[in-house]
Amino acid sequence: MSTTKTTYPISAYGLMAERHWREFRPKMVAEMEAAGKLEEALYEAQERTLDELLELETKLEADGLTKQQASDQAWEVVRERYILLPPEDES
């Protein structure tokens, strides 16, 4: 019986999340790595970010913003939900 590890394609958003998490959420990263879940969590963060960005950009464009304005505003809203998480408590 062979076990195959699932690989998740990580994009620029996933890499951004990993850099940020390693710097500001090292305990969380260590726990995910120990459980073998870091790559999956990065993939999930990037996919949710992409989905929500697209949805919000579409709505903002329908509200009259240019494509660039919609993209910029959507990024401001969505980025801290999954990618740029707040720092861990130092305690």
Mean pLDDT for back-to-back runs of 10 residues, the chain (91 residues): 72 97 98 98 98 98 98 97 93 55
Q: So what's the pLDDT on residue 74?
A: 98
Q: Which residues lie below 8 Å from residue 75, measured CB to CB, with a gap of 6+?
A: 53
